[in-house]
Every structure is written in structure tokens, then in C-alpha cells.
Structure 1
Amino acid sequence: MTVAWIGDRGVPVAEAAKHAAGLLVTSLCPVFSLDTDVHGTRAAIALAQRTGAAYDQLEGEAVARETAQYTDKGGMFIAPGEARRRADVVVIAGELPAAHYDLIAELANAAPDLDGGAGKRQFFLIGADTPAPGNIKATRLSCDGGLDATLAALRAQCAGRKTAREVAHFDSFAKALAEAKFPVFTFCGQSLGALGLEMVQGLIADINRKQRASALHLPASENGWGSTQASTWTTGFALRTGLARGPAEFDPWRFDVARMIADGEADLHLVVSADAGQVPTHKGLALIAIARTDKPVAGAAVTIAIGEPGIDHDAVVYSSRVGTLAAVEAKAPSELPSAATVLRQIAEHLPHEEALPC
């Protein structure tokens, strides 16, 4: 089975890795887009250190907004386990990715233990178009003007201020909030912008003046959040970090890989993804595609097939169900290499003698 290609020509993986290394050596501004597990992220960062590349999450705008929530504004957050045990009112702000529906359904099918398990959780949805995850029964909070306008009006009404638009079912929400022992707001950066994320935390802070409340962050991308954590402990910075000048530099605008490509700053794009359909192509930009595929990616100078973390090979990934990293065993082990293995093979062909960093 062919698993590596230079252009459209099938070649051994070692030859493809050597050719990819040559492209990286001659590149003046390589950029990496990642959608992979923790080991793949660590190997990609190590390769970026050797080649002076900038790296980011593939389609990483939502992850960048979530990161900014922590790095720029801060907030009050709890782990999923604490939400399962203690949240008696759950407020869902905006749309959640389908990957989190099972967790929300689990919350809906269990009672909190603050009152001995006698009561049921109440659910509220913020936003007129917000779908109910897993078809849970929830009271919708909305007003004209969209999600951000609803959040602003909700915060204002909770503070006793007059608003131009009143939030539907606000009285039910206010009553539930007054009786709640531990309300929890859940959100992600997929549907909330920077202002919306800040507004949610502002509302939580307001509530905490009288009672306790917190937030459960359910990331737009579990791989993205795992990579964010791996990048932080490896370089000291989250994703959107550049290594062209040696020391790691974090700048969410400068090292936004999508922006760099659009503005013509990059001359080589290395993409790591378990889904070959996610790999973007750009005219005039050399592409190294490391993806799960059975054919060469159209327009790629080099394509190397890899397995999917947790499916083809064991992996360490971020799990929203536990709120931290988790080891997962391969469900259907195959001979396809991991992203980390391929990235290290590429690094072995770089013109340096020192060992690849961990």
C-alpha cells in the first residue's frame, strides 16, 4: 500500500521525508497548521524550532479566541467533574460543537448532589438560534439583535438596569438563579466572539458578588486545546507562536497562519491533520501534507499518510469529559505511522547533528 507521495508519484516514506526536509531547508518563511494529538504537537514544535517556523491550529480562529479569554481577560472556570456533581442550573451560551452533546446529555440525565440528589438540573439556552444539545429540555433566553445583544441585555437585566430589548423568559431565569446553589455557564469560541466570551465572564463575575457561579469551557476543538496546552508547557506560549528568530515569540496577529498565507508572508505550508479533506491548498505556496489519506493531496509537493490518534494508534489527547489530557488506546490499530513519527523522520534529514528536542 502506497503511503507517501512526491507530487503524484508514490515513493517510500523515507524518500518523502527527505524531500520534505529539503523543502523546509530552502524555505524562507515556513508555517505549520496543526490538528493533531499531543505527541504530534510536540514533534511539530520541535521541527518548527529547527526550521524557524510559525505554528497555529488548523482553522484556529475559535481556539485563538478561547486562548485570549484565558491570557487577556481571565475568568472563573471549573472542571467537568465538578459541574456533574454540583451544577443545579446550567446555562448554555451559544452553540456547542456536537462532540460535547454527550456530556450535556449526561448532565441532563443526572441530578446534582448539593441537595442530596433530590432536585433536577434546570437548563437555559442563550440565543434565538442556539440548538438544544442532545434535544435537552431548556428554556430559551433571547432578544432581537443576536447572541451578543442577548448576553448584553441579560447581564444588564440581572444588574437591575433598563434595557432597550428585554430578554424572553428572563423572569424564569432570575427565579432559577435566585434559588440556585451553583449555576454554571458553558460556552465555546465556535459561536461566541471575543466580546461574547468576555460578556459571559462579566455576567459570572456579577453573580459571584452575591452567590457562587462559574464557567465550564467546552473547547471548539479538543485537538486544538490539547495543542494549546502542549505548546504552553513546551515554549511558554500558546498557539500562534513563531520561532524564526530563535526564542519563541507569541503574537496572535503576527503568527495567525491563515493571515500570513493570505498576506503572502509564507512560502511553505506544512499541514498535519487526520482528515485530508481539511488540508487547504494555495496557489504558489509549497504544501507538505501529513494527513490520513489513501491518495496524494491535490497540489501537495509531498504527501505522507498517517493514522488517526486513538483509532490507528495509541495517543494522548485533550478530553472535555475529564477536563484534562487523557491516554486513549487505538480502536482499530493499523500500520499507518503517527504524525509524531513522520515529523521526526523529516527532522532526521535536516542538516544538523544535534538530537531533536522532546
Structure 2
Amino acid sequence: MAVAWIGNREAPLQRAAEEAAKLLQSSRCPVFSFDTDVHGTRAVVALAERVGAAYDHIDCAALTRETALFTDRGGMVVSPGETRRRADLVVIVGDLPEAHRRFLLELAATEPDQPSAGQRSFFSVGGQTPPLNGKRSATRLTCGEAGLAATLAALRALCAGRRVSTPVTNFDVFAKALAEVRFPVFLFSGHAADALALEMLQGLIGDLNATSRASGLHLTASESGWGAALASGWMTGLPPRTGFSRGFPEHDPWRYDVGRMIAAGEADCHLWISGSAEWPPPKPHKDMLLVALAKTSGPVAGAAVTIRVGEAGVDHDGVGYLARIGTLTALAARSPTDLPSAAAILRAIADNIPAEAVPPC
């Protein structure tokens, strides 16, 4: 079965890699969109540096909000294991990704191991109150028709003893629980919470720590995205939405928003990397070349070069971020195939670009 195409015609893998390298090297403003494991991210960053490209994760909006929380403002967070063991009050902030459903069920089925802690209690702020199990439910905290950020602001004001124009439902129950517990933990994600809500939440946690103890648990909107942020961080010191147009890494969440760059006509070559069927390659933009590394059975419509790649943890082994343990982990292939990894193809492309090559712009 063919694994590479130049246009609509089958081509040897090495020939397709050479053609992709040629297009990237001649591009004046190449951009990369990717969803891959840590090995793939490392290869993305290395290739972007060589050709002067900007790179961004495919699930970029939520990832940008989460990275901005830590790079711009900072936050107080604990690990998932610490939450399982110590949290005697859990507050679910906004709608969490479905991928974390199993973790919520684990919290509902277990109790904290602190000697004086009682049964773990649950509250939810904004969004839909998630079902836990037959015996547990979360008490909902709402503030009229206000959004998540405004509800958190009202909750923060009430906890500080200030007056609000619209009361928060069940606040008395929440305040009583806060006074009795030893370690409340707020679960949050950039999936449904905007930057203001995330900042307001950290302000609330900080206020609570003035007289007691509280923390947050970051349940990332995208595990592959957070793994990419970590890998990009240790390679360049910066998260995705970083570019090498001036020969060194620069992070700018607006300037290097790849989706914005394509829509504005700034990019002339788009390298799309995804081994997951969840992210099908986009249609090429007018006057822009597309090089697609995707899990596809045939050439991508309109792509100058298409190369089939596998998915880490499915077709081949890899390394990725796992939110349930809060760190990187080995991903064993569940259904091994002969499809090459994105990292291998990216390295093959890079091998066809001289190390001393100077980007056109």
C-alpha cells in the first residue's frame, strides 16, 4: 500500500520527503500545525528552526489559554495523586473535557486519607454539573445568568466578606464546607474557561491560602497539546505559537497564531502533521502550498505532498503527557502497523535541508 504521494501520484517515500524539503526551503513564510507525541514535537521544533517556520498546535485556542496562565500570571497547582489522597473538597470549575471523566469517577469512589477528613464533598461552578455516581453529586454554585468568570468573581468577593449585586446559589453551603475541610482543590481546564476565568480562579485560590490551604488541579484540554507545550518549553524556553523567522525562537500568541496567519494570507506553505483521524487535513488556502503528514488512505485533496503517518500509542510506540498522573509516560502501540511515525518523516525531511541553509526571509 502506498504511503506517499506527490500531488495525486504515488511516489517513493524518500522522493516525497525530498519534495517536501524543497518546498519548505523555498518558502518565504512556512507555518506548521501539529498534533503528535513528544518525539514528533521535538522533530517539529527542530525542522521549524531549520526553515524559519512558525509552529502551533492544532488544538491551539485552549492550549494558548492554559500556557498563558502559567507564563503570564502563574498559579497554585497540585498533582492528580495529591488530589486523590488529600482533597476533601473538590470544586469542578466549568465544563471539563470528557477525557477526564474517569478521573472524576475515581475521586467520587474514593476518600481522602487524612485522619480527620470525612467524606469527600463536591461542588461545581458554571457549566453543566457532571454526574459522578449513584451516591455522589456535586452542589452547583451559580450567579444568575452570569458566565463562568463573573460567577468566580462573585464567589471570590463573597469569600472575602464583600457584597455582590447577585447572590451565588448555595454559597452558605459552600462557605460551611470550606470552614470544615482541610484541603479544597479546584479542578480546571482551558477547555471551556477563558483567560479571565482562569485568572479569577487563581485569585480565589490565592485568597483562600491567606488563612487556610487550597490549590488547583490543571486537567489539560488536550494531553497531546500539553505534552507539546512541555517539549517546546525545554527545547526553546517557549510554548507553541513560536516562530523562527528571525533565526531565533520568539513567542507571540497573536503573531504566530497559525490559523490567523493563513487567513491573513501571510503564510505560503503549510505543513500539517497529525496521526489522528480526529484532525483531518484542511483544504489548502488559495496561493498556499500544503504538505500533509496525516493518517490517510490516499492523497489529501489539493496537497502538494502527502505522506501517511501513524498515531503514537496506536500504530507505534511513543511518549506523551497523561493527565491522570500529571507527567509524561510511555505510550505502547495498541494496534501496531508499519506506518512511519511523524517524527521519523520530519527527520527525513530535515535530512534533505542543509544545516547551514538560510531561510528566505
SS at match of 1:196: helix
**Residues 1-358 of structure 1 correspond to what in structure 2 (within 5 A)?**
1-115=1-115, 119-127=118-126, 129-132=127-130, 137-143=137-143, 144-276=145-277, 277-281=279-283, 282-352=285-355
SS of equivalent residue, structure 1 residue 278: coil
1:239 deviates by 1.1
Task: Indicate the SS of the match to 1:347.
Answer: helix
Distance in structure 2 (CA, Å) of the matches to 1:98 and 1:274? 21
Opposite residue 227 of structure 2, the aligned amino acid is: G
The answer as to whether partners of 1:101 and 1:133 remain within 8 angstroms in 2 is no
Q: In the TM superposition, what is the alpha-carbon distance from 1:133 to its structure 2 partner?
A: 5.7
User: 1:297-335 CA distances to partner (integer Å, 9 max, x unpaired)?
Assistant: 222211111111111111110010110111121111110
Distance 2:236 2:150 in 1: 38
Tell me the distance in 1 between the aligned counterparts of 2:158 and 2:318. Answer: 46
Tell me how far 1:353 sits from its aligned partner: 7.0
Change (3 A) 1:292 1:248: same
1:19-69, CA deviations, whole angstroms, 9 ceiling, x for partnerless residues? 111110110000111111000000011111110001111130110110010
Report the Cα offset of residue 280 of structure 1. 2.0
Partner SS, residue 185 of structure 1? strand
Determine the C-alpha separation between the residues in 2 that align with 1:134 and 1:309: 31
State the 1:351 CA deviation. Answer: 3.5
CA distance in 1, matches of 2:194, 2:25: 38
Inter-partner Cα distance in structure 1 for 2:258 and 2:121: 41
Partner Cα separation in structure 2 for residue 280 and residue 169 of structure 1 = 46
Corresponding residue SS for 2:90: strand
Contact 1:76 1:214 in 2 (8 A): yes
For 1:53 and 1:75, how far apart are their aligned partners in 2? 31
Aligned partner letter, 1:51: V
Q: Give TM-score scaled by structure 2 length.
A: 0.94
Distance across 2 between alignment mates of 1:112 and 1:91: 15
Contact 1:102 1:134 survives alignment (8 Å): no
After alignment, is 281-290 or 96-105 more displaced?
281-290
Alpha-carbon separation, structure 2, partners of 1:25 and 1:194: 36
SS in 1 for 2:198: helix
TM-score (norm 1): 0.95
> Post-superposition shift, 1:247?
1.4
AA aligned to 1:311 is V
Deviation at 1:254, TM superposition (A): 1.3
Instruction: Write the distance in 1 (CA, Å) between the matches of 2:146 and 2:356.
Output: 59
Q: How many residues align?
A: 352
Distance in 2 (CA, whole Å) between partners of 1:74 and 1:352 is 37
Output the CA distance in 2 between the equivalents of 1:11 and 1:120. 62
Equivalent residue of 1:17, what SS?
helix
Q: Secondary structure at the match of 1:41?
A: helix
* 1:47 and 1:343 in contact (8 A); partners too: yes
Large movers: runs of 4+ above 4 Å = 133-136
Distance 1:112 1:336 in 2: 45
Between the aligned partners of 2:299 and 2:257, the Cα distance in structure 1 is 26
CA distance in 2, matches of 1:88, 1:69: 25
Letter in 1 for 2:11: V
Task: Provide the alpha-carbon RMSD of the alignment.
Answer: 1.5
Q: Distance in 1 between matches of 2:98 and 2:192?
A: 13
Aligned mates of 2:8, 2:106 — CA distance in 1: 47
| Long gaps (5+) in structure 1 | none
The residue identity in structure 2 corresponding to 1:349 is N
Query: Quick one: percent identity of the two aligned structures?
Result: 59
- Contact 1:288-1:301 within 8 A present in 2 as well: yes
